[in-house]
Amino acid sequence: MNVINITSSCNSDFVSQVEEESGQKLSLCYQCGKCTAGCPYTTEYDIPVSQIMRLIQAGQKELVLKSKSLWLCATCESCTARCPNKIDVARIMDVLRHMARREGYSGVKTVKTFWDSFLNSVQKNGRVFEVGLLANYISHTGRFWTDMGLGPRMLPKGKIHLKPSAMQGREEVAKIFSRYTQESSK
Amino acid sequence: MKIGVFVCHCGSNIEGTVDTAAVAAAAREFPGVAFATDTMYTCSEPGQEEIVTAIKEQQLDGVVVASCTPRMHEQTFRRTVERAGLNRYLFEMANIREHVSWIGKDREANTNKAIDLVRMSAAKLLHNRPLLSKKFEINKRVLIIGGGVAGIQAALDCAEGGLQVVLVEKTSSIGGKMAKLDKTFPTVDCSSCILGPRMVDVAQHPNITLHAYSEIDEVSGYVGNFEVKVKKKATYVDWKKCTGCGVCMTKCPSRKATDYFNEGIGKTTAINIPFPQAIPKKAKIDADFCMKLQKGKCGICEKICPTGCIDYSQQDEYVTEKVGAIIAATGFDLFDWTVYGEYGAGRYPDVITSLQYERMLSASGPTGGHIKRPSDGREPKNVVFIQCVGSRDKSVGRPYCTGFCCMYTAKQAILTKDHLPESRSYVFYMDIRATGKNYDEFTRRAMEEYDAKYIRGRVSMIYPKGDRLLVRGADTLMGTQVELDADLVVLAVGAQAAAGANQLAEKLRISYDSYGFYMEGHPKLKPVETNTAGVYLAGSCQGPKDIPSSVSQGSAAAAKVLGLFSKDKLESDPQVSMVDIKRCIGCGKCMKTCPFGAIKEIDFRGMKKAEVIETICQGCGICTSTCPQGAVQLQHFTDNQILSEVNALCQF
């Protein structure tokens, strides 16, 4: 990290936006580190979650939104459950992920592609169609061999199907997506 | 003599590395020892009862307890043997804990050393004689040195308790550091509103004599009967006539005098009353800046004064006060922060101390309560606070935590937002130490409600950038170096011992630590006593303290004095020197060496002899080692007693 000018580089709009979207008060965080202590993914993170909190307090928008950690967060909510100040840290991570997605950041491409494939599948089929999701994911990432061995074992057990299931209400689900697209484009 | 020996286990403290049963068994063989046993806790109630019972059943006439240091329990066991009818000086203590079990692991060697120590004690005890205390009159007046909040509290409590109080204050007004503060944490109530009435009480209380602008010149005497010479420094104003009208200040042409009360923010006149609520509200002339006193020209104040109280020929005056007890409440001074080159070493006018900032925040201060940059008078937008300036820093010889800077910095950040809602406050801190009642909630409020930005890390440098200051430091929580554009930098300067504290301690014969703070009698159990009888401590002279703690200690010291004076007479310590008139040759060497002036010359049938004044003798023993004839003997530590110990130890 380079030298950060706290006064001039602090993006206070970013701070208030995170506070507004998450409904959390950032100054409550006193940096005890309990969220990081319990986070199962810290070993994979580029910035530990407590440091993400500190960076948001200091209004370091770009550093936060380009972080890999946002995409590696499993939303297990250990951080939220353990925070002594009752800050919903997982909610903040979720808000940051949304912001990053809107602003074109994707700290870990494969994860973002997976989420995109998942949501596309739900939009199209009303619920996830695993094989379609996989095909979409693989075609965008080129990771042909990932979990390939699992397919032949899951198919005979009926865990995955070659055709999407014809579920009821898929139009209603699709409407949710179109409403989201309309609302967020406003 | 029939001696009883009691060897204490002290739980496992002694028994862990000393075979106490073996020590007791060995003691049974010593000359004079009629009874010896080992006990679990000798100082406990059953332990003491065992001693009392043994004295009665075995008809003992002397007791040795082998346990801890006499500083801990000598008094306890002296009372025990007294309860069983023995004189309290027919008791000896062997320290087999601090001197044996705690410092060695070899059980056999420890046991042997413990046996030696008990042998020495028993051998000395054979030469002990009953000693009796004398009673002496006491002077039920108390001297309090320092008119800060601790001294004020002690003075008022003593005066309310019916004692005559003499309060000596170095500056021309009481109030101390607290009088300089704008608000106090964690309640943010106005400092002078809560202190002011107390100061007035001091002025009006019939039992309090106030010597302001005065210092302690000499202290002699002892508990109950001190004699203190107070130097009343020349003010060049007759305070009996001065009404505090302040006309002199409006006309004084010398307007560049150092304004000590306002910490050098702004200047004052050569003749001045330091602040509107000053007690006593009397003018004094700062001779360094007075044209009349320096050059013999001017004299305007003399012409203008409506009561004719100006006296340029006034000299220092000395008064002697006789008191029975003394409370030192001399407070602290600020650390000289200019040793820090990284903070500009005093070169930048917009880097100021927290106390200067406090004066700026105060409505009665030099800026009328407006926060202005000293350089250009502009209101600051970004205010940067730096904590631990002269605290927790071994490199500048101040490894201790001042303890109250975290709190006043949070308060100042809150007040900054109140004064300048558009401003932003940044606080560099290492840890936030907010351990009092409602303290942590207060620092959290500064961050959560007043939007103070706390940055964990220290500052590496401050340098000018345009008309602002660039502050570079670390944010260890972000793990990076940070920079801030600051308009004003406020240094949370730590506390150090007051100037002159060491010299005063020497006059009072009390000890001080390596930083100059006065030593209490015991860190836990005697927090306001000193090791000099009749001298007590209150407030920051003992170590940095916030207002509630200083006030508590002021009251505690007052309670101790009231307790001391609840008796009409005090008992003297009989462990003093005595002259054997038959051996004394009247050489006078003892009189010359006595540091307390406790030996006088008498005429005995036409011969010169020395005589000890028992109430003044402190039992130091210098005279006994000086006397060429061995005529002066310190009771309870006579040559015979000490030599018998040496013989017991060196018999093989």
Q: What confidence tier does B616 reach under pLDDT thresholds 50, 70, 90?
A: confident
Model pLDDT, residue B387: 97
Cβ distance of A27 and B451 shorter than 8 Å? yes
Q: Which residues of B touch A8 (CB under 8 A)?
A: 485
Distance CA B212, CA B234 (A): 11
Question: Cβ of B491: how many Cβ atoms within 10 Å?
Answer: 29
Number of A:B CB contacts under 8 A? 57
Q: What confidence tier does A184 reach under pLDDT thresholds 50, 70, 90?
A: confident
Cβ distance of A4 and B478 shorter than 8 Å? yes
Q: How far is A90 from chain B (nearest CA, A)?
A: 19
> Which member of A4, A28, A51 has the closest CB to residue B482?
A4
The 10s digit of each residue's pLDDT in A48-58 is 999 999 999 99
**A102, A123, A148 - which closes a domain:** A102
Residues A90 and A116 in one domain: no
The reply to whether A12 touches chain B by the CB within 8 Å rule is no
Q: What confidence tier does B298 reach under pLDDT thresholds 50, 70, 90?
A: very high
| CATH-assigned architecture of domain B3-125 | 3-Layer(aba) Sandwich (3.40)
Q: Which residues of A touch B485 (CB under 8 A)?
A: 5, 7-8
> Which member of B447, B477, B484 has the closest CB to residue A6?
B484
In a domain, A3, yes or no: no
Q: How far is B338 from chain A (nearest CA, A)?
A: 26
The 10s digit of each residue's pLDDT in A68-92 is 999 999 999 999 999 999 999 999 9
Q: How many domains does chain A have?
A: 2
Cβ distance of A1 and B453 shorter than 8 Å? no
B376, pLDDT greater than 80: yes
Cβ distance of A31 and B477 shorter than 8 Å? yes
Cβ distance of B477 and A54 shorter than 8 Å? yes
Q: Which residues contact B396 (CB under 8 A, 6 or more apart)?
A: B335, B339, B340, B390
- Determine phi and psi for B320, rounding to 5 degrees: -110, 130
B613, pLDDT greater than 70: yes
The 10s digit of each residue's pLDDT in A106-115 is 889 999 999 9
Q: How far is B459 from chain A (nearest CA, A)?
A: 13
Q: Which residues of A touch B486 (CB under 8 A)?
A: 7
B328, pLDDT greater than 90: yes
> Which member of B447, B456, B480 has the closest CB to residue A4?
B480
Cβ distance of A55 and B478 shorter than 8 Å? yes
**A64, A81, A102 - which closes a domain:** A102
The 10s digit of each residue's pLDDT in B108-122 is 999 999 999 999 999
Cβ distance of B477 and A3 shorter than 8 Å? no
Q: How far is A32 from chain B (nearest CA, A)?
A: 10
In a domain, A74, yes or no: yes
B280 upstream amide cis, omega within 30 of 0: yes
**A40, A71, A102 - which closes a domain:** A102
Model pLDDT, residue B618: 84
Cβ distance of B484 and A5 shorter than 8 Å? yes
The reply to whether A30 touches chain B by the CB within 8 Å rule is yes
SS3 state at B180: helix
Amino acid symbol at B471: V
Model pLDDT, residue B16: 96
Residues A49 and A124 in one domain: no
Q: Which residues of A touch B478 (CB under 8 A)?
A: 1, 4, 51, 54-55, 58, 60
The reply to whether B483 touches chain A by the CB within 8 Å rule is yes
Q: What confidence tier does B652 reach under pLDDT thresholds 50, 70, 90?
A: low
Residues 39-98 of A with CB under 8 A from B: 50-51, 54-55, 57-58, 60
Q: What confidence tier does A165 reach under pLDDT thresholds 50, 70, 90?
A: confident
B534, pLDDT greater than 90: yes
The reply to whether A182 touches chain B by the CB within 8 Å rule is no
- Determine phi and psi for B162, rounding to 5 degrees: 95, 5
Percent of chain B's residues with pLDDT above 90: 95
Interface with A, mutate which of B480, B481, B485, B489 (most A CBs under 10 A):
B480
Cβ distance of B424 and A7 shorter than 8 Å? yes
Structure tokens at B244: 């505090």
The reply to whether A31 touches chain B by the CB within 8 Å rule is yes
Model pLDDT, residue B91: 97
The 10s digit of each residue's pLDDT in B539-598 is 999 999 999 999 999 999 999 999 999 999 998 889 999 999 999 999 999 999 998 888
Residues A98 and A19 in one domain: yes
Q: How far is A3 from chain B (nearest CA, A)?
A: 5
Q: How far is B471 from chain A (nearest CA, A)?
A: 9
Interface with A, mutate which of B482, B487, B488 (most A CBs under 10 A):
B482
The reply to whether B480 touches chain A by the CB within 8 Å rule is yes
Model pLDDT, residue B95: 97
Residues 379-418 of B with CB under 8 A from A: 382
Sheet with B91-95, side-by-side order of all strands: B33-39, B3-8, B62-67, B91-95
Q: Which residues of B touch A1 (CB under 8 A)?
A: 478-480
Report the candidate in B39, B13, B30, B16 with the shortest Cα–Cα distance to residue B115. B30
A138, pLDDT greater than 80: yes
> Which member of B426, B444, B477 has the closest CB to residue A6?
B426
As a whole number, the mean pLDDT across chain B is 96
Cβ distance of A27 and B447 shorter than 8 Å? yes
Q: Which residues of B touch A2 (CB under 8 A)?
A: 480
Give domain limits for chain B: 3-125, 141-233+316-331+500-564, 247-304, 334-496, 577-635
What single string gives the DSSP state of each residue in B570-593? EEPPS-SEEE-TTT-----HHHHH
As a whole number, mean pLDDT of residues A170-186 equals 88
In a domain, A41, yes or no: yes
Q: What confidence tier does B605 reach under pLDDT thresholds 50, 70, 90?
A: very high
Residues A88 and A125 in one domain: no
The reply to whether B459 touches chain A by the CB within 8 Å rule is no
The 10s digit of each residue's pLDDT in B154-177 is 999 999 999 999 999 999 999 999
Sheet with B141-145, side-by-side order of all strands: B208-211, B164-168, B141-145, B325-328, B535-537
Q: How far is A26 from chain B (nearest CA, A)?
A: 8
A1, pLDDT greater than 80: no
Q: What confidence tier does A143 reach under pLDDT thresholds 50, 70, 90?
A: confident
The 10s digit of each residue's pLDDT in B577-591 is 999 999 999 999 999
Model pLDDT, residue A20: 97
Model pLDDT, residue A158: 86
Q: How far is B461 from chain A (nearest CA, A)?
A: 14
Model pLDDT, residue B595: 84
In a domain, A154, yes or no: yes
Residues B141-233+316-331+500-564: name the CATH superfamily.
Answer: FAD/NAD(P)-binding domain (3.50.50.60)
Nearest CA in chain B to A33: B477
Amino acid symbol at B344: G
Percent of chain B's residues with pLDDT above 70: 100
Residues A83 and A19 in one domain: yes
As a whole number, mean pLDDT of residues A158-173 equals 87
Cβ distance of A27 and B483 shorter than 8 Å? no
Q: Does domain B334-496 sit in CATH 3.50.50.60?
A: yes
| CATH-assigned architecture of domain B577-635 | 2-Layer Sandwich (3.30)
Q: Which residues of B touch A86 (CB under 8 A)?
A: none
Q: A96 is in which domain, residue-wise? A: 12-102
Structure tokens at A141: 């990432």
As a whole number, mean pLDDT of residues B219-228 equals 92
A146, pLDDT greater than 80: no
Q: Are domains B141-233+316-331+500-564 and B334-496 of this chain identical in fold?
A: yes
Q: Which residues of A touch B479 (CB under 8 A)?
A: 1, 51
Q: How far is B355 from chain A (nearest CA, A)?
A: 25
Q: Which residues of B touch A50 (CB under 8 A)?
A: 477
Q: Which residues of A touch B475 (CB under 8 A)?
A: 4, 6, 54, 58
Interface with B, mutate which of A27, A29, A67 (most B CBs under 10 A):
A27
Residues A65 and A121 in one domain: no
Cβ distance of A60 and B455 shorter than 8 Å? no
SS (H, E, C) chain A: CCCEECCCCCCHHHHHHHHHHHCCCHHHCCCCCHHHHHCCCCCCCCCCHHHHHHHHHCCCHHHHHCCCHHHHCCCCCHHHHHCCCCCCHHHHHHHHHHHHHHCCCCCCHHHHHHHHHHHHHHHHHCCCCHHHHHHHHHHHHCCCCCCCCHHHHHCCCCCCCCCCCCCCCHHHHHHHHHHHHHHHHC
Q: Is residue A129 a contact partner of residue A112, using CB atoms and an 8 Å limit?
A: no
Nearest CA in chain A to B470: A5
Angstrom CA distances, B597 to B220, B566, B594, B621, stand at 9, 28, 6, 13
